Structure 1
Amino acid sequence: MFRTLRSPGVMAITLAAAGILMMTAGIRMTNGLFLSPINSSTGLGIVSLSLAMAIGQFVWGAVQPLAGALADRHGARPVLLGGVSLMAVATAATPFMTSAFGISVMLGVLSAAGAGAASFSVLMGAVAQRMPAESRGEASGFINAGSSIGQFVFAPVAQKLIQLMGWMGAMWALAALALLALPLVHKVTANTKAAQVNTEPDLGLRQTLRDAFKTPSYGLIHAGFFTCGFHIAFLVTHLPGEVDLCGLPPEVASWSLAIIGLANIAGSLLVGSAVSQYRSKMILALMYASRAALLLWYLWMPKTDLTFYLFAAGLGLTWLATVPPTAALVGKLFGIRYMGTLFGMTLLSHQIGGFLGAWLGGLAITQQGDYTWMWYADIALAVAAALLNLPIKEAPVRQTAAA
């Protein structure tokens, strides 16, 4: 493992990108911990607050292709700096909002937009253009692990901050911590020359997008990634509520989220290394199938602390480890010239699923009193995603068309 990242320059860029994602993704993943405290403080209702967080899931994804296109055209540096700054300011302003609309704007739109602009599509596109092809798979796994480290660190930290300072003070503290990502932006974007000459023909963004949306495999990638977003957003937003329904203390939820992040570090690094050795579509099919099996196991087990921790560890192995093989598939099909835009479109599909996972979870608990039908929907989607990845063709689109 890491045999292709031994160059100091390659490793430095990868570590800096992972650090940025650790801050932006780690802080964003704590939103579900604020759901109950904000509701208790403001009385705005679980459905309204779930909708605000669902909007955040969608906006985070909707920003990805736009941010990727801006980075492809103007460079990643201004996009990353603007994204981190916007996230910090909007997070700090959220406690001043007294209505569901205000919280939706700050937490659901502006903070999510900032986090999205400093996330996967821009970071992976920038890194891919600054290192040789053989390093990209492991680099994407390492960068992805940064988001998991952030989740592992920030979930218990945010829970403790809420207990010590209240949800408002915790929000202000997280906003200040987000600014620590700013110094890392220069390291990611300092080298403007690719480590390897790019011989891919530049067909222009418009023609590349036409090719992409005419390619059935690109649509199948989107469909599978939609399920990943549904699954993750539902759990990040509503796992604290599920823990509460089971009569367990809130610390079980925060530690479960932390364990997911810790396990995903191993999962991301392992999958990132496997991308260069095995077919990405088979890796994805196996991961989605394993999620379906794990969800069934959870439903059958007694709801104890240990069950949640084991469930979290199993989930963590594939949590966001789907990102490296998904990004690899996009790169194989269309090259890296417009990687930021094309992978950003894929992340938008992920977050449409995320919007539905967060919002429908809120409706389920309000109308049904539990999350039972959400769990079964999650299982069905995981099985479908595993099957949809199997027909994907991994050959470059232009090369296939020429043949």
Structure 2
Amino acid sequence: MTAPTSAAPARSVGWRTPLVIVLCGSGIALLAFGPRSALGFFLTPMSQANGWGRDVFGLALAIQNLLWGLGQPFAGALADRFGTVRVMTIGTLLYAGGLWLMAYSTTPGALDLTAGVMMGFGLAGASFNLVIASFGKLLPIEWRSVSFGAGTAAGSFGQFLFSPLAVGLNQAFGWQTTLAIFAVTMLTIIPLSLAMAAPKAAPTAPGPTAAAVDAAPQQSLRQAIAEALGHRSYVLLVLGFFTCGFQLAFITVHMPAYLIDRGLSASVGGWTLAVIGLFNIAGSLASGWLGNRYPKRFLLVGNYFSRAAATAVFILLPASPAATLIYGAVMGLLWLSTVPPTSGLVLLMFGTRWFATLSGFAFFSHQVGGFLGVWIGGIAFERTGSYDLVWWLSVLFGLLSALINLPIVEKPVARLAAARA
């Protein structure tokens, strides 16, 4: 049995060299992640302008997260069948339209439709998951793991960049104009998505390419889903990814309030989230680099265990700015560094044909975890006056995910193994 060559579906398709593909995809990830991560800065002005409680805004964003996750497998399936550019164009228009109309939402229902439904489905069609799927299909094998890290890091940089941008634009022009500026900026994703188009013809390089190997034998969408759901290692991977979403969403939404409850200033919470964003860039890039050199399941086991250990130490220590910022740096290194090995394992197991679809199911698990992290955090605090229950749930889920990922088998399914022989 011989391993597949390092040739890729398209080492260079005209102007779309691997570097161009990575840069354009990273630009898409940066833009898509930016505005949605800065929406918290619109909570207060929108609530005051419309006389809403904070629960109104929170529900809209909860709907957004759920529909983003729910829409991802469908967006992936459409991209796999009809092409990434078409799906990204529609997703971008929904995303930009949701941002624009959000500025004129004066009822809770309108906000649920714009910030919730439109932006949720828009993100499913225009976010970094489809970018990573395109990287897996278009780039040479030796570029894949590093590119997964680069795309994830770019999304994190967008999170870091758009937060101060939202604050500055809100102060200079008002929140409605800021949302309009963000909406217009998102349209830049459409020309960038042209680099994500799959080649119309197979490459002419001698020897079997990764695309040719991954495509044989051909599968329908239903067969691909049935194969994945019946594959023990894939199910374990998807279950483990739930924890990532639970931890990230809970910390993002509830950390500032938690720190104030412990006697720290609001600025400490802001700086902590900024530190998480900065260190996540390094963590994502390192994860992509390490994924080419070490078993990916071990990277996931180490990540989830380290999160659990760091969180346990943090909540047991006395509250202080130094301890909080150190925790932010550690969690930043681990923040989205689960994405490159998770995506890499899906690609290794099942190949490129339905990669966007199958990685979309994994992301749906992530978003369900995110929704529950935010929702349970709020319920626990209202009923107990403390976040302690959810912090310890986060520790428990981290340990369970470390154990869940340990028995994952890193090899192609029998169908692909036979094709590569």
TM-score (norm 1): 0.91
Q: Is the 8 A contact 1:137 1:275 kept in 2?
A: yes
Deviation at 1:37, TM superposition (A): 4.3
- How high is the sequence identity, in percent, across the aligned residues? 38
> Where in structure 2 are the equivalents of 1:290-305 lying within 5 Å?
290-305=306-321
Deviation at 1:120, TM superposition (A): 3.1
1:17 maps onto 2:35 in alignment: no
Residue 138 of structure 2 aligns to a residue whose secondary structure is coil
Q: Which residue of 1 aligns with 2:212?
A: 198
Residue 96 of structure 1 aligns to a residue whose secondary structure is coil
Q: Is the 8 A contact 2:32 2:128 kept in 1?
A: no
Q: Identify which of 148, 157, 161 aligns with 2:156.
A: 148
Q: Which residue of 2 aligns with 1:312?
A: 328
Residue 411 of structure 2 aligns to a residue whose secondary structure is coil
Residue 357 of structure 2 aligns to a residue whose secondary structure is helix
Q: Identify which of 95, 101, 110 aligns with 2:118.
A: 110
Moved more, 317-326 or 164-173: 164-173
Deviation at 1:378, TM superposition (A): 1.1
User: 2:384 & 2:260 partners in 1: Cα distance?
Assistant: 15
> Where in structure 2 are the equivalents of 1:3-402 lying within 5 Å?
9-189=17-197, 191-192=199-200, 196=209, 197-200=211-214, 201=216, 202-398=218-414
The answer for unaligned runs of 5 or more in structure 2 is 1-6, 204-208
The answer for unaligned runs of 5 or more in structure 1 is none
Q: Is the 8 A contact 1:33 1:240 kept in 2?
A: no
Deviation at 1:154, TM superposition (A): 1.3
Amino acid at match of 2:95: M
Deviation at 1:128, TM superposition (A): 1.6
Deviation at 1:161, TM superposition (A): 3.4
User: 2:35 & 2:89 partners in 1: Cα distance?
Assistant: 17
Q: Is the 8 A contact 1:130 1:192 kept in 2?
A: no
Alpha carbons of structure 1 residues 104 and 206: separation in structure 2 relative to 1, 3 Å: same
User: 1:73 & 1:387 partners in 2: Cα distance?
Assistant: 35
1:37-69, CA deviations, whole angstroms, 9 ceiling, x for partnerless residues?
444444433334323222211111111111111
Alpha carbons of structure 1 residues 34 and 236: separation in structure 2 relative to 1, 3 Å: farther
Alpha carbons of structure 1 residues 205 and 400: separation in structure 2 relative to 1, 3 Å: closer
Q: Is the 8 A contact 1:33 1:237 kept in 2?
A: no
User: 2:344 & 2:90 partners in 1: Cα distance?
Assistant: 27
User: 1:237 & 1:61 partners in 2: Cα distance?
Assistant: 18
CA radius of gyration, larger in: 2
User: 1:112 & 1:205 partners in 2: Cα distance?
Assistant: 23
Deviation at 1:248, TM superposition (A): 4.5
Deviation at 1:149, TM superposition (A): 1.0
Residue 171 of structure 1 aligns to a residue whose secondary structure is helix
Deviation at 1:383, TM superposition (A): 1.0
Amino acid at match of 1:346: A
Amino acid at match of 2:191: P
Q: Is the 8 A contact 1:159 1:254 kept in 2?
A: no
User: 1:158 & 1:247 partners in 2: Cα distance?
Assistant: 27
Deviation at 1:388, TM superposition (A): 0.5
1:259-298, CA deviations, whole angstroms, 9 ceiling, x for partnerless residues?
2121111111111011111111110010011111111122
Q: Is the 8 A contact 2:136 2:347 kept in 1?
A: no
User: 2:262 & 2:173 partners in 1: Cα distance?
Assistant: 26
Amino acid at match of 1:309: L
Amino acid at match of 2:225: L
Alpha carbons of structure 1 residues 308 and 93: separation in structure 2 relative to 1, 3 Å: farther
User: 2:55 & 2:82 partners in 1: Cα distance?
Assistant: 40
TM-score (norm 2): 0.87
Task: Report the aligned-residue RMSD.
Answer: 2.5
